[in-house]
Every structure is written in C-alpha cells, then in structure tokens.
Amino acid sequence: MNTMFLNCSKKLRKNTLLTFALLLCYSMLSNAQISVTGLVTDNTNQPLPSASIVVKGTDTGTQTDFDGKFSVEVSKGSILVISYLGFLTKEITITEAISLEILLMPDAAALDEIVVIGYGTKSKTKLISAVSTIDKKMLKKQPVANVSNALEGLASGLFVTQSSGEPGFSNSSFEVRNFGAALVIIDGAPGDLNQLDPNEIANISVLKDAAAAAVYGVQGGNGVVLITTKKGKIGKPKLSYSNQFTATTFTAYPKYLSSAERGEVLNQGLRNAGQADFYTAEQLELYENGSDPINYPNTDWRGLVLKDWGFQQQHNLNLSGGTEKVKYFVSTGYVDQGSNYNADVLSFQRYNLRSNVSAAITDELNLTLNLGARRQLNEAPAYSAYNVFRELSRSLPNDLAYYPDGTPARLSVTPNHVVEGIKDFNAGYYRAKNNNFDAKITLKWDIKQVEGLSVKSYASLVYNTNFTKNWGKSYDLFTLNRQTGNYDVFSATPEGAVSETVLTQGTSYSNHYVLQESISYERDFGDHAVSGLLLAEIQKQQGQYFNASRQDFQSTLIDQLFAGSLENQGANGGEFRQNRLGFVGRFSYDYQSKYFLESTYRYDGSSRFAPGNEWGLFPSVSLGWRLSEESFFESFKNTISNLKIRASVGTAGNDGTSSYQWLSGFNYNLFYAINDSAIPTIDNTALPNKDITWETNTTYDVGIDVDLFDRSLKFSADYFYRKREDVIAVASASVPSTLGVALAAQNFYEFSNEGFEFSFNYNKQINENLKISALLNFSKSREKAVFIDETLQEDLFMRENLTETGGFTGLRRGYISNGLFQSQEEITQYAIQDGNGNTSLQPGDIKYVDLNGDNIIDVKDQKVFGNGSKATTNYSLNLGVEYKNFALSVLLTGAAGYDIYLEGEAQSPLRNGFNGYDYQLDYWTPENTGARFPRISDGGFNDNNYKYSDFWSRNGKHIRFKNINLSYTFPKMKKNTTFDEIKFFCTGQNLFVIKDFEEDFDPQTGSGLGWYYPQTKSITFGINVSL
Amino acid sequence: MKKYTHILLLIVTFNLTLSCGDDFLNEPPLDRITENDVWNDKNLMDAYLFKIYDRMPWDYLEDFSAGGFGSHRDGLSDLARGTYSWTQLNNQFRPGNWGTANNTWPLDWWGYDIIWKINYSIENIELAPINVLTVDERNERLGELHFMRAYSYFALVKRYGGVPIILNAQNPETTTEDEYYPSRNTEKEVYDQVLSDAQAAFDLLPNRWSSQKGRAPKWAAKSLESRAALFAASIAKYGTVQLDGLVGIPNSEADAYYQLSLSASQKIISDAGYTLFNKYPNASDNYANLFLDETDDETIFSKVWIPFEKGHSYDLHNVPYSYRVDWSGSMSPTKQLLDSYEMLGTGLLPNEAGSGYDENNPFENRDPRLKGTLLTNNDIFQGLPVELWYGTEIGGVIDTNKGTGVGKDGIGIHPDATKTGFYVRKHLQDGGAPLFIKEYYSGTNCILFRLGEIYLNAAEAAIELGIEGSARDYIEPIRTRAGLQQNLRLDTYSGNELRDRIRNERKLEMAFEDHRYWDVKRWRIAAEKLSIQVEGLKTLRSIDGFGNETFTYETFNAEAEKMNFAERHYYLPIGQGRINNNNKLKENPGY
C-alpha cells in the first residue's frame, strides 16, 4: 500500500499547483456527474469480482461484478479508490467519463496470511502460538493416492514415515514433534485425512504447542493437524479438470540367491558344521550353466510374481464460484492404483465427492453445509503382501515353478505356490469396501446490535461403513512321480480352514457425532484489540461390527455365505461406544498489534474414566511481542520488516492410550475343548484402578518469527519442551514375578520431549520472468524417560531395561559386537562367549565386547545401543524456480537419528529353509576375511552370531529426492478464449535416495525381515485445465 | 421474530449439552464381563476354569511355542534329535550352551499367573452361593482347582527345585511385603504341598465326569500323587541336598515317598476301574491306536483337542517328508532308542549276547512297540510305503540323485527330511491315503495320565523299595499287553539290572509322552544319557540284475556335536529377570 500511495502522492506533488487550480475549477462544477466504467483485473489478467470501488472521502461506491466490471457515477475530480484484499490499492482521479482498465498488483506485504487455528482463524501477525501451515500446491504436486504420503517435508515439526507401498495399505504415519499420534480435525470434527482428495484441501495447519492445541483438551496432547476443505469464491463458475498418469516401481529391494548361489551357501553351512556337501560340484555347475533347466532349474520367482512398472491414475473435476449470497465448491475425484504384481489382482480405488455450499440467509445469518462422501475399494489376493514377500523368500530357485507342459509344480519347502496362488485369485481374494460420509452444518449469526459478537451452532456427523470379504480356496499343485511318470496331486488349502474353501465376511459401522455451540466476540477499541470465544462441545462415538464365516462350499464358483456348509460356521460381533464433553474458553488481547496476550481453557470430560475422574481442566497462556513495531526499531525496519518473539505454556491431555481400565472384569478368550466341543473361555483382565485418568502434557514453547528483505525471506524457529505426566503404564519391572496377575494400570510414568525446529522460506520475484523460492525445514525432537518402572537390581549390567530413567526411549538392548573372529587362537584367548569354553565358536563368528570385564560374555554384557527405530531428526529442502511459463520444483526430504534392525531371514541366508538375499553372499570364509557377515551356519542359525546385538543395526539416516516437478503453462490468450489455463506437468516421486547402509532396502523399510511391499518411486505425467 | 427463535434454539441446545453431562460420561462399555457376573454364574465360572485348564503346562503334543517348528520336549532327550538345525533345541540345549539367565526356552515355565488364577478361583468358589452351585458342584470345582494347583507346583518343582509357595491370590494393596516378595521354599516343602493338594483334590473330585471329557476325575489326582511322590523319592535317593534344601531332598525321606507312590498306584490299579487298552490283534497297531482311539478304558485324564477349533499341529510337524504340508519330520528318533527295543524271540536287548539281532534286518522280530512308535523303512503309512533309503545301488554304482536314487522320505531328499534315517509314528493319524494335515488340524487328544504309567510307577517304587516280586507283578501286565513273548516277569534280572530293565520299559512304553527327559533327570543319569553322540541308521537300497530289492543298513553319527548335559542342568536357572524383581530368590547352583 505504501509504495503505491507514495507514487500517487509524488505525482500529486509535482503538479500541486495545477491540481489545486483544477480542483478549484471543478469544485464549482461539482454537481456535474460523470459516468465511469471499468474492468479490474489482477496481474494474470484474471478479472477480480467484488473489488471495492469507493469515491475517496465519501460513502459512495460500488463493487465489481462477476466479470470484474463496474460502473459508477462520480463527480468530476473525485478520486476513485480501488481496493481488493491482498492487492495494492490504487487511486485514480477522474476527470472525464472514461472506461478504465485497472490492473491491481498483489501486495505481498499487505497480505496478512490468515491461519486456521483451533475453532477459528487468526491473522499471522497476531499469531503467538506454534503453528505451521502446509503449502497445498506442494501437496498437489505429488502423485500420491493418500494425502499422508505427501506431507513429508512440507512443514517443520511434522514427522512422517511411509513404511509400505502397497496399494490401499500405504498410508504414512505422521506425528507432530514425535509426540505420538496426532488428532486430525477436518472441518471442525475428527476425521481421516487419507480419505480426502488432495484437490479438496484448502488448508492444512499443524498445531504444535499447547497454546495452539490445548483448546482440544483431553485429545490435544499430541498436537493437532487441522484441515479445512475448499470453499467457493465470488466469481463466475470456474471448472477445473486435472489428471495424472503414473508409472510406479520399487525404490529398493534386494535380489534373491540363484540356485547355484544357494547351493554353494548350503554346502558351506554343512562344511562349517563338519558335514558333507549336499550338492556336488557337478550339480552346482549344472545349476550355474542352466543346461538342464528341468532337473537343475534356476527359477526367477521374483520375475514371475513382480513386474517392473505398475500403473496409477488420478482424476479430479471441480466447480467453484459464487455470488455474494451463495458460494459453492463441488468436487469429484477418482484414484485408481494398480500394483507391481504381474497378475492383475491388487488394486485400490477411491471415489471422492464433495459439496461445500455457504449461503447468506440474511445480512446476519450465514449457513454453511459441507458434505463429503467417499468410497474406497480394495482388492488383493488371498496372500497378503506380507505373505507374497514371505513366499518369495521361501520359494527356492532350484524348485520348478511349472513343468514344461505348464503344470504347476509343488515346491520343496512351502505348501504354497505364490505365482499360481495369486494368479486369477486361485487361492482366493481379500476385498474391502469402505463408504464414508460426512456432513457438517454451521449456522453463524453475526449480531449486528453488538459489534463483533457472533453466535455459531455447528453439527457434524461422520458415518463410516466397512465391508470386508475374505475368500480362500484351494488349488492343486503337482509332483512328477518318477516311478510312475504321473503327477501326484497336492492341494494347497487356505490357511486356517478345515476345508477346501472358506469365506469370511464382515461389516462394521461407526458414527461420530460432534455438536458445538459457541459465542465469539472480536473488536478493536482504538489501540486495544480484544477477542474471545466460549464453546461447548459434545462428542459421541458409537459402533458395531459383525462377521461370519463358512467353509466347505459346494462349488468354488459361488463365493457367497449361503452356499457354504453349516458345519464349522462361525459368527462374531459386538458394539462399542464412548462419549466426550468439553467446554472451551479463549481470550486474546493485543495493544497496537505490538503486545499480545492469549489464554485458553478447556474443561473436558471423557467416558473412558471412572465416575469422579472424568473431568479435567486444560489451560494455556501465551505472550507475544512484535519488536518491529517499537519506535527504537525504526532504523532496522528496512531490513527487518517484522520481528516477533513469543512464548507459551499450556497443558493438554491424552485419553487415547487406554479405555475402561478402571473396570475390573473378564474378557472372552480362546476356546477350550470339553467333550469334543469347543467352548470359549474367559480370562481375567489386570487388577482395576478406579483412580485412573488421562495423561497430562505440559508444553513450553518459545519462538521467533522474522521477516527480512522486504518479506522475501521469512524465518521462524521454535524451541520446545514437553513434559508428559501421569502417563498410563503398568508396573512390571519392579513387580515380583510370583505375583501372577497384571497390576492395575496407573498414571505414573513421566516422559519429556525436547526439541527445536526452524524454517527458512525465501520467495523472490527476480524480474518479470523469473521467480525463485526455497523452503528449508529442520526439526528435531526426542523423548526421554523421566520416570519409569525399573527393576530393583542395582548392578547396572544386570538390569534388563530397554529404557532407563533419564535415558532416551525406544532404544534397543543387546550385545555390542566387535567384528569377526579371524583365527582359532583369537577364539581361544578371548573371553568365554558361549558358556562352553568357546568350543562352539569358529573363525568367522561374531566377537562381542566384554563390557563388565569378567571375561565371560553373558546377559551382563548387554546394554542399550543405537538410536531406536523412530527418526528423531528430519529435514527438507524445497526449491522452486519459475521462468516465464515453466516451473520447476525439487523437494528433498530426509531423516536421521534412527536405526534399522535386520532380523531373521534378512540376517542369514537359508534360515528356516528359506532362500537368501544377494547381499548375504558377503560372508566370512578364510578367503574373505573382510566380510560384512559372519560365516554361514547350517540352517542359517547359530546361537552365537544371531544374538540381539548392534551387529545387525543399520543407521537409517538418508536424503531422498522426494519430488521433482516440471510444468509448463500455456500463455494466456487474453480474452475470448475458452480455457483460463492449460498446464502440463511431469513429476518424479521418490526418484532416489542416498543412504548409509549397503543392504538394498528402503531406509524406511516396513520390516526388518524384508517381508513387506516396498515403497515405490514413480514417474507421472499430467494436465490441468480450467475454464 | 426469527432471531428470537434462533436464540431460543441456541439456549435449548446449550442446556441439553450441559444437562446430559453426568450420565452421558458414565455409560458403561458394552464388551466387558464383570467380576460379579462371573462368580454368580456357573457357566461363566466354568469358562474361567477352562481357561486355567487350557493354560496348564501339561500338554506335549502342542509344540513349545508358536513358530517353534515342531520342537517337542522329547527332542531334548535321548529319544530323538530335532531335525531343524536352526532351532534353539539344536543350538542351545543339546550342545549344553544354555544356563545363562532367562535362557531357558523351551523348558522354562514360571506359572505363577496360573497359580494366581487358581487361588483367586478357590477364594471365590468357596463363597459361591448355594443357588449358584450345589455343594457337590462346588466341591467338584474346588477339587479341580486343587488338582491343578498341585500339578502347577509339580511343574515348577521338577524344573527349579524349591520355589515360593503362594496359596492366596495376591494383591499389592492387601498382601504383606514379606509375602509379596517371598523367598524360595525347600524342594521338599513344595513336593509336600503338591501331595497335600493332590490329596485334597482326590477327596473332592468325582469318580468320573459324566459327559464332560477333558475335566479331571479324582483318579487324575491320585495319579499325580503316584507320579509326584515317585519324583520326590528319586530326588531324595539320587540327588544331593544343596542351598539348605532349596534343591534336593534328604536321603532319609526316600522310602516314605516311594511307599506313598506305591500305595497311590495300588489304589488306582485296584479301585479305579481302568483297564489296559487291548483291542487290536496286532500288538504294534494296538499300541499305536492306544493314542488315537481316544477310549476311556486306559486313559485316566487327557487334554481334548478338536481339529481347527482347538487343534494342535503335531501331525504337521512330524509326518515323513513326502507327507508334509509344511514342516515335516521335526523329530528324528535316535538309533539309541531303536537299540532299546528287545528282540521278540529272546527277550534280550540287541547288545546282549545271544539276542539274535540281525544288523541287516534291524526292524523285524523286535518289541512290537517299535513299529507302534517309529516309522521304519517300507512301513505302510497313510496308504503308502515310507521310503527311507538315502541312495540306490545298481551294479556297484550308488545313485543319490533326488529324482531316482533317494527314497521319497530318505536322508538327503531335502534338508528338512529325517536326519537319523527314520520317523516317529506314535500320535500320528493314519489313513488310506496321504492326509496332508495342516497347522492346527490335529485333533489327537493328549493323554496326561493313563493306567500304563501307574503300573510302571508301581513297579519302579517296588524295585526301589527292594520288593522285587511286587515289581515283577506290575511290569508283567505292561509287557504282556505290549505283545512281548519272552521273560514277561523279567525273571532273569535282579537288583540294579532289574531296575534298569524297568527303567527301559518305562522309556519304551512312554516314549514321546514327555516322560523321558524328566525321568533321566530325576534318576540323576541325565549327565550320562543326555551327553551322547546321537546315531542314526543309513539305509541303502540295492537292486540286482533281476530287479530284486534288498536293503543294507549302516550306523552313522547323526549329529555334528555331542549332546552336552552338565551337572548344573539338573535344575533350571531361576533367571536374572526374576531375581531383579525380588532379590530374595536365590539362584540355583552352577549358574
């Protein structure tokens, strides 16, 4: 505003005399009205509807219409002030009847960002709590089926982990500041953000400190992710269509051993155990050269099951617009996610529908109705991804998959045939349908009689229906009988069924009602600005489930319950419910937008706790000071346009950890057989504790927000300390093992989280054609145990705690390794490691450190090691450049401060009769003394080498090229064109990762065993069209 | 006017919000059963008792733990080795690499959680109102609970020696500090507790449960007395008192315990009305069917299993390789077991002079229980012959190719096939064709007490008391039923030789019924019997020019390392974890 105004006034000054004279003249003719018409557009030639046109110094004026046009009658010489929120205001002196074309430029400085906070919004200037917002453009650039998979790296203080790439099961977990599962609020009520189409989202705010989250009381202790969906804007209807076509492949997955490699490893293990080779050299050679593929096959099971590229598509069509009276946003979306299985048996589809309408009933009354509906369809083979990958690692390369005539062969270890089993759903299927509907209605009454006062009623219903169906059937496998020359049949039957066919079907319904009544008040009294909120909220959750199963179907063609046998049929079902009640108060005050004070209170009740313990008060207070508004700051103002420091303290709760621990009782349990019938048993629960209540989280936060260099660089940093008290836990370490019953859960553990986060956000329009941006986020947060139950043992080495008072949580405990034994002498001289004079050890075995120096390595030589499995640091860099119509952005994300632990079959080849991974070939032999892995043991197991130790721990730190996006927008064809915008883009997601360990697993691997559907990387092409 | 309606609406909703407060938050959950419900309803009470039954540590057909790959406790003894080289059984227990704290899978059982449930039930059932349980019903349930408490302490004492005896349901709010952190009782005190609970149970329980198979009758309690007293007696006789009696029982107590055991056995044999199972003309089949037919003539008490709904996986784990669904042949029986069966014609053991043992016909003319217990070469199982040869010799060339040379179940057909040359038959379901029984689909009941054991207990007690005639009286029916023909009263043996033959009889009669491991421990001969080089028998098939099949057998070392049972292994370690919780618990010697 300032610059523009200065320009105008300069002009005025130049011509002061002339103007003055003119004014004098015109004032005499002031009654003469002239007509002015005009078109107001923004810098992209978009018409601006509802821009305000006011004659300076008067009440006269008008607004632009839909198409940005206006016409107004003014007297000659009057000054028209054209303003629009977020744009620089323009003043034009009218000297004659004229048709104006007014171009308004966006005003980065004046636009005070509106941030969505709990139960309201707030301008960023006045915000004195730790809230980060997510750029929805970056969200939309990522070709993910679930919004949670696009959150990583977009906000400081948000920790996101995606541990699977399986269509329909790939949601990321996310936590605010590593606090645990955060509360997700969509348009005012708890919801699931993964069910939203990214195109529906208008805003995502992450409430990090108690000042922001305490208004959510007993549920807000772990931070809150707030999502608002899009609303219509005043203007002509705008129709947008976008699509994306994506090809996906795994980020990383190791290769399996070939027949010859496996044979050599098997022999090596037998040799090390003093036994004869299983394969002769000639046999190994036959496996190697593949000259006899029937008797010496080398089956590529992975190639038979998986393909390199899977396919995914997304479409969205939305319409938005509105008048002063009614605004609307209607959107429909579709996602279809295919898999990397060769067989077309694993997919996920989601249909989204949203209709957000708001209507001004009168000047004072406004009604908003948000409706959303979703349908999700999952289809998967009867073998889950875990099973498919387990079977892949269990299918031996020296087993034939199919005989030359195409007959599926029975395998030597597993009773299943992963290729045949998933092909055409031969082993059956898993199908799930989820229907989700939500309705939110808000009636807001601005009470004109009392300025700033409004009353709001809000009701939300979220209704969820799930339907799942598991169909299992047997399929035949064959073994060639060499004596008869015929095939012997073996039937691979479904797991957990007595018969050849089994069908389990289940439905569940749940609904969640929220009702809120609130009164809010907001008014400025000169330098003093006050606002307040009083709100009451009821939450009611109910649900029920029912499932049934039958077996022995007459025909595998009829996969319906009614066609199954009554024998061995089963049914199960139940209901649940819980209620919450809360009262919120919030009071804010500021003086000259310089000194800020805010305080919130929530009085909350939860039915999860015993009568008398269900109510609690959660207060918070925060203070802020904008130093940049002080007079002494004037001299820095050119560089630092805004400097705010803020501090807050508050408490919130967490009732999500346990329900109904105050009731003693019994639960239904497994069956016991009496007289040849199975009878369900009941088992006692832990001893009850009537006094149990929620845990309380107190968060202290100090932060600073700085805007530099004409607001092109924004910096924000927070330091926080959270104390979790009254954490519900069950004493066990100090409880004598002879007690025999689980103690009551108590509110007695204490933890603390300490950490910091900062972000730099740089945006600069270098010139007309070039714009650059950079966003750097860094977050660190780690939990410490302040008080936990520990054993009474005083000898540190003899304790068995994973976590110790004062130490970090989530660590591992085990032996500390020190490389491999290289010679028999070394073993003989070393501390006794096997309890048996080291007689069972051989060169190539792992050497452990004798921590307590007693020359015996036993449990007393264990300690906690590593960083645990949860990332404690994350960082991201988002770079963008726009040149003319091209835009390029790169998002790098990363995490550190955690470990991956290789387990089971990922440690040693041929464990449990399974195959191995190629990286395991680097094992110790007298010729390969620098090996990464110990010598091969027969059967892949050995008591020494596979003890829980840091030998199998890998540092998970990594940097990932999360997203690279290149787009081209067609130049605007001025007017009379059908399309407002046509944009083409291509995106690479998860293209590659720089990591610290050598095994070819993704650093966010979902299984230390490797039995999981790996994360995917993808290439996407897409187009956005709007008209 | 409109506005006022709106205000009114708001006020009404506000009031609703506020007024529904208390009840709204105190709606009870829908998925819990309360304490009050349980102790006032016979069926719920029984559902809780069945939970206790289910968790008792007496079953031996179930594998040690889910995913334990068929490790059964007899795989720890000299009856068999585990087939899978990666199991802890093979890596820890057999080579003796165990003993450090809490390193005791799959033997460890610190069942104080069960004992708590039992004590808690006794306390509540004693108070049960008469309209809920009749006096008889109450007594029967209390009898079951005393029986199970006796068995639980027996399970503890045979593992750890003396353990703390706790006879009430502890609660940290009411239990005194001293009881809450208890010291170990002596081994003798624990055995006496077992015997007194067994006596109490015997007095309370019914003679038989009518149509409630799976619940313990009074004779189960008497059988437990017979067994536990025998254990106490042998520990007194052969063990050493250490740690002031925390382990070991004074030598002077031995005869009294033997006498107690003998009296209990005699009472069962004379009063209980059980008879030895004898239904099939073929003695081997008769013996095998004793465990499959699930009749009540010999079985005093068994755990009932039903396929699928409450099934175990014994068949899945133990069938020969070609009958497998998944894991097969997880126990490979030892050649040493094979050598323990006497020659049918002479009544002598193969290693005794003049026994008539033929190395090239090792499975024939033997104690019929051999073929009732083991699957040997070319035995018909599930309609097909079991083929155990590792290779086929034709014209002097041995073919060990999997497709042509190796029998379908033989050593080398696959690393998962038998490691010793033969398989277990006992407890496996048979049929006309391969059954392919899946995980949790075995419904074979697990016999916990049967009359056969009682005869053996009686014979052992008698011989230890020096009453040889009586011992012969008790061993004769067992040997007769087994189908033996010679020396049925073992008249040619006396003294320690007779004792050893009675012990051998026990080993064979109750092979794979989870007795051998405990027996060699209480006789204090485990350091010798469980430190052996396990041997197997390699079968070679030869085909001559006329196509005739002949087999030759060769003994070989079937395990790379010797088994190693050290002196300290007679007791399991209490474990560092338990001492960390209560440092009044003293660790066992040698750990």
Whether residues A517 and B53 touch (CB distance < 8 A) is answered with no
Give the residue on B whose Cα is nearest the Cα of A447.
B3
Per-residue pLDDT, averaged over A469-478, amounts to 92
Q: Angle CA(A138)–CA(A139)–CA(A140) in degrees, nearest 5?
A: 90
Q: Which stretch of A970-974, B219-223, B292-296, B425-429 has the lowest confidence by average pLDDT?
A: A970-974
Task: Note the pLDDT of residue A350.
Answer: 94
The residue written with tokens 């449960």 in the block is B209
* Residue B555 near residue B536, CB atoms below 8 Å: yes
Å between A380 CA and nearest CA of chain B: 24
What residues of A are in contact with residue B581 (Cβ under 8 Å)? 733-737, 791-792
CB contact under 8 A, B171 and A575: no
pLDDT of residue B105: 59
In which band, very low, low, confident or very high, does the pLDDT at A715 lie, cut at 50, 70 and 90? very high
Q: Nearest CA of chain A to the CA of B376: how many Å?
A: 21
Cβ contact (<8 Å) for A674 and B182?
no
Nearest chain A Cα distance for residue B436, angstroms: 8
The DSSP string of A87-137 is: B--EEEE--S-EEEEEEEPB-TTT---EEEETTEEEEGGG--S-EEEE-HH
Which residues, other chains included, contact A1009 with Cβ-Cβ below 8 Å and sequence gap of 6+?
A390, A903, A904, A905, A906
Measured CA to CA, the distance from residue B164 to residue A738 in angstroms comes to 8
pLDDT of B101 reads 52
Whether residue A931 contacts residue A923, with contact meaning beta carbons closer than 8 Å, is answered with: yes
Would you call the peptide bond into A143 cis, given omega within 30 degrees of 0 as the criterion?
Answer: no
By Cβ distance, the residue of A676, A834, A943 closest to B306 is: A676
pLDDT tens readout for residues B338-371: 999 999 999 999 999 999 999 889 999 999 999 9
- Taking 3-state DSSP, the helix, strand and coil percentages for chain B, each rounded to the nearest 5, stand at 40, 10, 50
CA atoms within 13 A on the CB side of B511: 27
The answer to which of A121-135, A381-395, A481-495, A913-927 has the lowest mean pLDDT is A481-495
Bridge partners of A373, per DSSP, are A353, A437
Identity of the amino acid at B322: S
The sign of the dihedral angle between the CA atoms of B290, B291, B294, B299 is positive
Residue B65: Cβ within 10 Å count: 11
Specify the pLDDT at position B19: 46
| Mean pLDDT score, A638-647 | 89
Cβ of A738 within 8 Å of Cβ of B166? The answer is yes
- Asked if A943 lies within 8 A of B84 by C-beta distance, the reply is no
pLDDT digits (tens, 9 = 90+) for A883-895: 988 999 999 999 9
Q: Decide if B114 and A740 are in contact by the 8 Å CB cutoff.
A: yes
Looking at chain A, which residue has its C-alpha nearest residue B171?
A739
Contacts of A912 in chain B (CB under 8 A): 69, 84, 86
- Quick check: B98 contacting A, CB < 8 Å? yes
Out of B33, B305, B581, whose CB is closest to A736? B581
Q: For residue B111, how many other CB atoms are within 10 A of its CB?
A: 21
pLDDT digits (tens, 9 = 90+) for A237-290: 889 999 999 999 999 999 999 999 999 999 998 888 888 888 889 889 999 998
**pLDDT for A51:** 82
Answer whether A467's CB lies under 8 Å from A430's CB: no
CB of B196 less than 8 A from some CB of A? no
3-state secondary structure A912-926: HHCCCEHHHHCECEC
Q: What number is the ipTM of this complex?
A: 0.86
Mean pLDDT of A411-430: 90
Indicate whether A630 pLDDT > 90: no
Which ranges in B324-363 belong to alpha helices (H)?
Answer: 335-338
What's the CA gap between A47 and A52, in Å, rounded?
13
For residue B209, give how far its alpha carbon lies from the nearest alpha carbon of chain A (Å). Answer: 10
CB contact under 8 A, A665 and B34: yes
Q: Mutate which of A737, A790, A813, A858 to disrupt the B interface (most B C-beta within 10 Å)?
A: A737
> What is the residue type of A199?
N
- What the block records as the tokens of B38 is 């349980």
A662 vs A931, residue with greater confidence: A931
CB interface of B with A, residues 104-163, below 8 Å:
110, 112-117, 120
Comparing CA positions, the residue from A990, A891, A994, A762 lying closest to residue A154 is A891
Q: Do B117 and A859 touch (CB under 8 A)?
A: no
Distance from CA of B358 to the nearest CA of A (A): 29
Of A917 and A692, the one with more pLDDT: A917
What span, in angstroms and rounded, lies between the C-alpha atoms of B411 and B418? 6
Question: Residue A450 — very low, low, confident or very high, per pLDDT cuts 50/70/90?
Answer: confident
| Contact residues on chain B for A911, CB-CB shorter than 8 A | 86
Q: Does B32 touch chain A (CB under 8 A)?
A: yes
Q: Do A581 and B24 touch (CB under 8 A)?
A: yes
In angstroms, rounded to a whole number, what is the distance separating the alpha carbons of residues B122 and A683? 15
**In which residue are the tokens 């199975």 written?**
A678
- Residue A219 in this model has a pLDDT that exceeds 90: no
B348 close contact with A: CB closer than 8 A: no
* A645 neighbors A633 (Cβ within 8 angstroms): no
Output the six-digit token pair for B133.
Answer: 């349980």
Instruction: Report which of residues A789 and B9 the model is more confident about.
Output: A789
User: How many angstroms separate the CA atoms of A924 and A927, rounded?
Assistant: 8
**Contact pairs from chain A to chain B, CB under 8 Å:** 275
Tokens of A313: 């598509």
Q: Minimal CA–CA distance to A985: which of A907, A886, A917? A: A886
The Cα–Cα gap between B155 and B204 comes to 22
Residues of A in contact with B169 (CB under 8 A): 740-741
Is the pLDDT reported for residue A367 higher than 70?
yes
Kindly list the distances between the CA atom of residue B40 and the CA atoms of A270, A507, A636, A949, B130, in Å, as whole numbers in the listed order.
Answer: 62, 34, 80, 51, 10
Average pLDDT value for residue range A350-368: 92
- Cα–Cα dist B387/A557, whole Å: 39
Of B425, B435, B343, B446, nearest to B382 by C-alpha is B435
Separation CA A595–CA A720 (nearest Å):
21
The values of phi and psi at residue A74, to 5°, are: -135, 165
Predicted confidence band at B20 (pLDDT cuts at 50, 70, 90)?
very low
Residue contact B21–A605, C-beta within 8 A? yes
Q: Give the per-residue pLDDT at A802.
A: 67
Smallest Cα distance from A493 to chain B, Å: 9
Distance CA B273, CA B453 (A): 15
In degrees and rounded to multiples of 5, residue B14 shows phi and psi of -60, -45
> Scanning every residue of chain B, which has its alpha carbon at the shortest distance from the alpha carbon of A489?
B434
A836 vs B87: CB contact, 8 Å cut-off? no
Substitution target in B54, B81, B89 with the highest count of A β-carbons within 10 Å is B54
DSSP designation for A425: G
CB atoms within 10 A of CB B18: 12
pLDDT band, residue A787 (cuts 50/70/90): confident
Nearest to A476 by CA among A461, A491, A465: A491
Q: Is the dihedral of CA A633, A638, A642, A644 positive or negative?
A: negative
pLDDT surpasses 70 at B222:
yes
Which residues 39-78 of chain B have a CB within 8 Å of chain A?
Answer: 44, 47-48, 50-51, 53-54, 69
- pTM (2 decimals)? 0.80
